[in-house]
Structure 1
Amino acid sequence: MNVHSFPPIVDADSRYLILGSMPGVASLRAQRYYWNERNFMWRILYGLFSPGSAPSERYEDRVAFALNHGVALWDVIESCERPGSLDSNIKQVIPNDIPGLLARFPKIGILVCNGTKSHSELNKHFGTDPEVVKRRIIRMPSTSPIPTRDYRGLDDRLAAWRALLEV
């Protein structure tokens, strides 16, 4: 199945650009970033910038929260062939214009790759691009709800993502 990502969520004050690979089925259906209720992204963002508070129920409030904290959201992949939601099933990648976005929003200083696939695709397509290499790139554990050897749930992922606040 051919799938397409969404436009970026970004403004002139964005300092971090969180890059996913490609939204999952639930997010694509809703046309909203990280809309699978099991995905940890929104709980991580609220945990980083407003500890103890839960993400708003309203998507628009979540987006405003991210932007108010200098966080932009996008995906490395504009379109691809992928049945289901697994990154391992991604084929025929067409990347988004990450360098073009960075040129338009120069305050973005840190590219945060949400998982291995976004990091590998960013490096594959733009690893030597001047707009990309002049920024810091951080590969974080995926916010996907699928447990890994090192990351079982929200708490260990949130602890790893806290590194963002230290840069």
Structure 2
Amino acid sequence: MIASFAPILPAAPKILILGTMPGAVSLAEQQYYAHKQNHFWKILFAVLAEVPVPDSYAERLELLHGHGIALWDVLEYCERQGSLDSNIRNPKENDILGLLEKHPSITDIVFNGQQSHKFFTRAFGQITGVALHVMPSTSPAHTMKFEDKRAAWSQVIRRSTI
């Protein structure tokens, strides 16, 4: 079994970005989206700060806090060989409903890829009062062009952080 991380929570989050489960590199580094080829941080910095991604993980997290973005994973535990979501077995979900109750300021959930959305809807269905947005996965395994990923994410992130 592998375990996800604690959520990253600013004071009054507006958006909750949900991945599925950290990949092998992220688990080893104990950082969200630590794989150098994952586009997550590059997309967020391109959309929100228009500066290169800093090397410092603390500076990366400051961007989230400054824009009211919470970050977590749908799954708390699972079995998985490698990093692909398609290899996930025996998943157990995080207490996302509890997080939403504690943080009613969250109005949007943004899914980093189809798999996180699939696991979420299977466990929780629709959430009244919260908009759900499925974005292209930032994983290097998802071969969509970076500019197309950035454009899709930009529409939701900019609208939701205003």
TM-score tier by shorter-chain length is: over 0.9
How far off its partner does 1:11 sit? 2.2
Q: 2: distance between equivalents of 1:166 and 1:10?
A: 20
> Structure 1: any 5+ residue segments left out of the alignment?
none
Distance in 2 (alpha carbons) for counterparts of 1:60 and 1:96: 24
Corresponding residue of 1:57: 55
Q: Secondary structure at the match of 1:55?
A: coil
Gaps of 5+ in 2: none
Instruction: Write out the 4+ residue segments of structure 1 that deviate beyond 6 Å after TM superposition.
Output: none
> Separation in 2 of the partners of 1:47 and 1:17?
19
| Percent identity between the two aligned chains | 42
**RMSD over aligned Cα, in angstroms?**
1.1
Match of 2:148 in 1: 156
Q: In structure 1, how many angstroms separate the alpha carbons of the residues matched to 2:159 and 2:31? A: 28
The number of residue pairs the alignment matches comes to 159
Distance (Å, rounded) in 2 between the aligned partners of 1:6 and 1:166: 27
1:83 maps to what in 2? Answer: 81
Do the aligned partners of residues 77 and 166 (structure 1) sit closer, same or farther apart at CA in structure 2, a change above 3 Å counting? same
Instruction: Quote the Cα distance in structure 2 between the aligned partners of 1:157 and 1:11.
Output: 25
Shift of residue 163 of structure 1? 1.5
Task: Find the aligned partners of 2:11 and 2:36 in 1 and give their Cα distance.
Answer: 29
Give 1:13 shift. Answer: 1.8
User: Is contact 1:127-1:133 (8 Å) kept?
Assistant: no
Q: Does 1:47 align with 2:60?
A: no
- Three-state SS of the structure 1 residue aligned to 2:148 is helix
Q: In structure 1, which of residues 139, 146, 151 is the aligned counterpart of residue 141 of structure 2? A: 146
CA contact (8 A) 2:11 2:68 kept: no
Q: Which whole-Å CA distance do the structure 2 matches of 1:23 and 1:13 have between them? A: 24
Question: Per-residue displacement from partner, 1:108-143 (whole Å, max 9, x unpaired)?
Answer: 110000001100111000115xxx332000000000
TM-score using structure 1 length: 0.92
Give the secondary structure class of the aligned counterpart of 1:19: strand
The partner residue of 2:112 within 114, 120, 136 is 114
